[in-house]
């Protein structure tokens, strides 16, 4: 792994050295907006789902996953023997001289693409797949964040390579500049998928009345396709040691644990107090509560779910604490999904934690803070299993969640029928994307949406 202390020249030489020199038997694809290893297991689930698809459906291909690391790093997990998976650092950086800097990448694209690893991979790519972390193609988080999310899209267009927008949310866009940028990027894309019906309407609106509708597609979140992986033996043993009691998985979002989260999203009440009340009620009913963190950085910095879990646990007495356990925060997205699949019921505020649960047929309730969760649950026929934390909290919210818990047998039966087609759709849309990209002649310009 390349150290942050390396000079830009050293990193450049190492990155150029990692470039593929032989003939590729498959595709060369760049994936943006789905970094692996950044602490957000939801974003990681998106990246690993695409890597799983490359491994399964396009052997011999090279997938370059953009992240905020340093230099080029081959995947060392051993998960993808049929494909070449690598990670490439790119970032908005004041260190403009470093090859990872978007300023350097833009300059290289104009003058000498072969001398910059990112510029080189863009120009060599059969397509650039972009997923915007699932829900970050918006100006709600300010112009700097939108600029960062847009950089890979702009780089694809500068390189003259096809841009494919994988299933994601579009908007909202609250500024004229943000809206114009989104319209331009959508219209310049070769294909664009939305991940639910609401997002598809936003996509259609951005593309405009003269868009080629065959290139605008409604899909589902790609994380439904993520393949679960059994974690380490200690974690498996700990779950097996819970015995025959009902296992209630609980994801507590660090995004909502303090006043800033309350004000940012306009929550109806104290989120931690609501989740604490739910946990106490589950324990009183005889359940073993298993906390499942889905976002965590070392030390608990930022919006750590581990910190939120500890805030809930601090509201329990000793007897109640003894009825709780934790899934290790160090597990990756696929391993977390395996653990969640062992629950009898699951509730989460992180949307991708609930996708991990739903896609394994586990009865699931979403205690949401944005509209995106409702669309996901609607796509699974589980639209009734969502409560909006911006509208209800406290006893009303706990009652809604506990009603779902009490209905877990019925919900599991319904998911047995409704979920397999959604998982298959998630896998099929990725197969379709890869097959379409494979059919594009690299020497020609691929037409755009509008």
d(CA 137, CA 168): 8
- Check residue 385 and give its pLDDT: 98
Tokens 């699931």 sit on residue: 364
pLDDT of residue 310: 96
**65-109 tens-digit pLDDT:** 999 999 999 999 999 999 999 999 999 888 877 999 999 999 999
- Long-range contacts for 139-144 (Cβ within 8 Å, ≥24 apart)? 139/172, 139/173, 139/174, 139/175, 139/177, 139/178, 139/179, 140/172, 140/174, 143/175, 143/177, 143/178, 144/92
Q: Does the pLDDT at position 158 exceed 70?
A: yes
Provide the CATH number for the domain around residue 118.
Answer: 3.40.50.2000
Q: pLDDT at residue 437 above 50?
A: yes
Q: In terms of domains, do 48 and 181 share one?
A: yes
Question: Does the pLDDT value for residue 404 go beyond 70?
Answer: yes
Same domain, yes or no: 140 and 205: yes
Q: Which residues are paired to 347 by β-bridges?
A: 250, 365
- Binned at pLDDT 50, 70 and 90, residue 277 comes out as very high
Kindly state whether residue 185 falls inside one of the protein's structural domains.
Answer: yes
Q: Is 446 within the bounds of a domain?
A: no
Write out pLDDT tens, residues 159-218: 999 999 999 999 989 999 999 999 999 999 999 999 988 899 999 999 999 999 999 999
pLDDT of residue 267: 96
Average pLDDT over residues 305-309: 95
Residue-wise pLDDT for 367-379, tens only, equals 999 888 998 899 8
Instruction: Indicate whether 214 and 261 sit together in one domain.
Output: no
pLDDT of residue 20 exceeding 70, the answer is: no
Same-domain pairing of 82 and 160: yes
As for how many domains the chain has, the answer is: 2
Report pLDDT digits (tens) over 350-363. 999 999 999 999 99
What is this structure's pTM? 0.90
The answer to whether residue 304 sits within a structural domain is yes
Range of the domain at 409: 233-420
**Per-residue model confidence as pLDDT tens digits over 279-288:** 999 999 999 9
pLDDT band at 6 (very low <50, low <70, confident <90, very high): very low
Asked if pLDDT for residue 29 goes beyond 70, the answer is: yes
Please report the pLDDT score of residue 38 as a whole number. Answer: 82
Considering the domain architecture, whether residues 21 and 119 belong to the same structural domain is answered as: yes
> Quick one: 259 and 163 in the same domain?
no
Same-domain pairing of 264 and 371: yes
- Assess if residue 450 is contained within a domain: no
Give a yes or no: residue 149 inside a domain: yes
Same domain, 298 and 218: no
Q: In the prediction, which pLDDT does 301 show?
A: 61
Same domain, 242 and 340: yes
Q: Are residues 286 and 158 in the same domain?
A: no
77 within a domain of the structure (yes/no): yes
Residue-wise pLDDT for 105-128, tens only, equals 999 999 999 999 999 999 999 999
**Position 21 confidence tier, pLDDT thresholds 50, 70, 90:** very low
Residues 271 and 137 in one domain: no
pLDDT at 418 over 80: yes
pLDDT at 264: 87
228-245 pLDDT, tens digit per residue, is 999 999 999 999 999 899
What is the per-residue pLDDT for 7?
A: 42
126 domain residue, yes or no: yes
**What does the angle CA 362 – CA 368 – CA 371 come to, to the nearest 5 degrees?**
110
At residue 141, the pLDDT reads: 86
Q: Looking at the structure, tell me whether residues 187 and 262 fall in a common domain.
A: no
Query: How high is the pLDDT of residue 299?
Result: 66
């Amino acid at each position: 792994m390349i150290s942050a202390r390396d000079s830009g020249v050293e990193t450049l030489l190492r990155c150029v050295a990692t470039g593929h020199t032989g003939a590729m038997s498959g595709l060369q694809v760049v994936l943006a907006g789905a970094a692996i290893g950044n602490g957000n297991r939801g974003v990681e689930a998106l990246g690993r789902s695409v890597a799983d698809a490359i491994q399964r459906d396009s052997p011999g291909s090279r997938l370059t996953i953009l992240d905020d690391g340093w230099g080029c790093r081959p995947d060392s997990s051993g998960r993808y023997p049929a494909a070449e998976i690598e990670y490439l650092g790119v970032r908005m950086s004041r260190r403009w001289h470093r090859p990872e800097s978007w300023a350097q990448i833009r300059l290289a694209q104009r003058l000498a693409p072969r001398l910059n690893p990112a510029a080189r991979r863009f120009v060599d790519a059969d397509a650039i797949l972009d997923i915007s972390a699932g829900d970050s193609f918006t100006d709600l988080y300010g112009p700097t964040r939108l600029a960062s999310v847009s950089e890979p899209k702009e780089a694809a267009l500068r390189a003259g390579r096809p841009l494919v927008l994988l299933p994601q949310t579009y908007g909202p866009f609250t500024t004229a500049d943000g809206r114009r940028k989104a319209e331009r990027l959508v219209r310049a894309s070769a294909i664009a998928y939305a991940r639910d019906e609401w997002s598809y309407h936003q996509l259609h609106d951005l593309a405009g009345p003269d868009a080629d509708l065959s290139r605008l597609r409604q899909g589902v979140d790609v994380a439904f396709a993520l393949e679960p992986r059994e974690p380490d033996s200690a974690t498996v043993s700990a779950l097996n040691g819970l015995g025959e009691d009902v296992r209630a998985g609980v994801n507590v979002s660090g995004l909502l644990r303090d006043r800033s989260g309350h004000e940012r999203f306009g929550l109806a009440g104290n989120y931690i107090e609501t989740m604490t009340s739910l946990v106490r009620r589950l324990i009183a009913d005889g359940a073993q509560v298993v906390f499942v963190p889905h976002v965590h950085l070392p030390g608990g910095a930022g919006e750590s779910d581990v910190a939120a879990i500890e805030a809930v646990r601090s509201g329990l007495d000793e007897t109640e604490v003894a009825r709780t356990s934790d899934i290790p925060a160090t597990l990756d997205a696929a391993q977390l999904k395996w653990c969640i699949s062992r629950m009898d019921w699951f509730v989460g505020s992180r949307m991708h934690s609930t996708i991990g649960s739903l896609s394994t047929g586990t009865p699931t309730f979403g205690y949401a803070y944005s509209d995106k969760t409702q669309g996901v649950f609607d796509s699974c026929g589980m639209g009734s299993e969502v409560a909006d934390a911006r509208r209800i909290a406290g006893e009303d919210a706990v009652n809604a969640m506990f009603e779902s818990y009490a209905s877990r047998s019925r919900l599991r039966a319904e998911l047995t029928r409704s979920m397999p087609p959604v998982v298959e759709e998630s896998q099929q849309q990725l197969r379709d994307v890869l097959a379409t990209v494979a059919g594009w002649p690299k020497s020609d310009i691929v037409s755009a949406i509008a």
